[in-house]
Amino acid sequence: MVVFWLLYDAICRVFGQREKGDAIVGALVLVLVCVASWLACHWFAGRAAFLLVGAMLATAMSANVFFWIIPGQKKVVKSIAAGEPVEPIHGARGKQRSVHNTYFTLPVLFAMLSNHYSFLYTHKLNWLVLILMMFAGAAIRQFFVMRHGWKLGRNRHPLGYALVGVVVIAAVVAWLTPQPSEAAKAPVGSADYAALKKVLEQRCYQCHGAQLQMKNVRLDTPQAVKQHAQAVYQQSVVARTMPLNNATQMTDAERVLVGRWFEGGAKTE
Ligand code: HEC
């Protein structure tokens, strides 16, 4: 978060007030956000990575207000109060940072809400999902920004930006539509507790066994498995959020097995 702020701030300082500064800064910040998203999704579990990228942008938004927008306004007010000429640079800088904050808004909202939708952050190319959805958010925001200009006759109607945003989201929806996996096409048959136990032993005991009970969940006795059957199914088959970040490398076939066990009555003897 701090590194992003320092780099972003440096880009704005160096290029912000040049000719075509807004475009240069926009392009560089876009690249920076893409690199940060890629890194986050490779360093952290997807669920954490999406939140961290959102927090990273939100940190820059707050820092923009604290270090540039408010101090700039104070200087302007001071000059006016003292009857001195106002330096336009403070207004220009503050406006540039406010505009950036505008574009960060929808991407941050998306990142905040993403935790409810595991198919987004558990996807193999989750970094691309994150970038595309944030890009769509920024494009849609551009529509709202330019709509004011259109009402005042300053620019043409910005419908194109909204359409780009919607098309990108629709493309992501089509791309992420669940497909039956190879494992799910395998012949059907119910799985018994002995088969389930083998999977739990290998993939879950490490964090939900005698040594460690994450979120107070133990899965190493038949009674405990019975108690948590619904949650086991939910977490490892439906949402695929367990094993956490698939640390124990559970296979698709094993998820199908857990699903069959649950749908076949979740027997524990
Ligand atoms: C690397 C460690 C790790 C492994 C392996 C792991 N879990 Fe978890 N599990 C956690 C952590 C951490 C939490 C708490 C997550 C939270 O609070 O959001 C958790 C929570 C849970 C919960 C409770 C969820 C809830 O929100 O109430 C269930 C159920 C669960 N795990 C099932 C499983 C199953 C089934 C497996 C094996 C297929 C598994 N876990 C493997 C770390 C792990």
From the centroid of its chain, how far is CA 25? 23
Residue 55 has pLDDT above 80, yes or no: yes
pLDDT in tens, 162-220: 999 999 999 999 999 877 666 566 666 678 899 999 999 999 999 999 999 999 999 99
The structural domains of the chain, with segments of one domain joined by +, span: 2-176, 183-263
Residue 160 has pLDDT above 90, yes or no: yes
Which of 199, 203, 211, 214 maximizes ligand 1 atoms within 8 Å of its Cβ, making it the mutation to test the pocket? 214
Question: What atom in ligand 1 is closest to the CA of residue 247?
Answer: 1
Residue closest via CA to ligand 1's atom 6 equals 243
Q: How far does the centroid of ligand 1 lie from the alpha carbon of residue 138, in Å?
A: 34
pLDDT for 241: 86
Residue 202: Cβ-neighbour burial (10 angstroms; 0-12, 13-18, 19+): middle
Q: In the predicted model, what is the mean pLDDT of residues 229-257?
A: 91
What is the share, in percent, of the chain residues with pLDDT greater than 70? Answer: 96
Residue closest via CA to ligand 1's atom 9 equals 214
Residue closest via CA to ligand 1's atom 4 equals 243
- CA 254/CA 258 separation, integer angstroms: 6
Residue 100 has pLDDT above 80, yes or no: yes
pLDDT in tens, 14-25: 998 888 988 999
Which residue ranges have their beta carbon within 6 Å of ligand 1? Answer: 203-204, 206-208, 214-215, 217, 228, 231-232, 235-236, 242-244, 247-248, 250
Please check whether residue 69 is in contact with residue 105, taking contact to mean a CB–CB distance below 8 angstroms: no
Q: Which of 134, 139, 175, 173 is nearest to 50 (CA)?
A: 134
Q: pTM of the predicted model, to two decimals?
A: 0.78
pLDDT in tens, 101-140: 999 999 999 999 998 888 899 888 999 999 999 999 999 9
pLDDT in tens, 57-94: 999 999 999 999 999 999 999 999 999 988 889 988 99
Give the residue with greater pLDDT, 179 vs 10: 10
Q: How far does the centroid of ligand 1 lie from the alpha carbon of residue 230, in Å?
A: 13
**Average of per-residue pLDDT values in the chain:** 92
Which of 198, 216, 221, 235 maximizes ligand 1 atoms within 8 Å of its Cβ, making it the mutation to test the pocket? 235
Q: Where are the alpha helices (DSSP H) in the chain?
A: 2-15, 21-43, 46-64, 70-81, 88-113, 118-121, 126-151, 159-176, 193-203, 205-208, 222-227, 229-233, 252-263
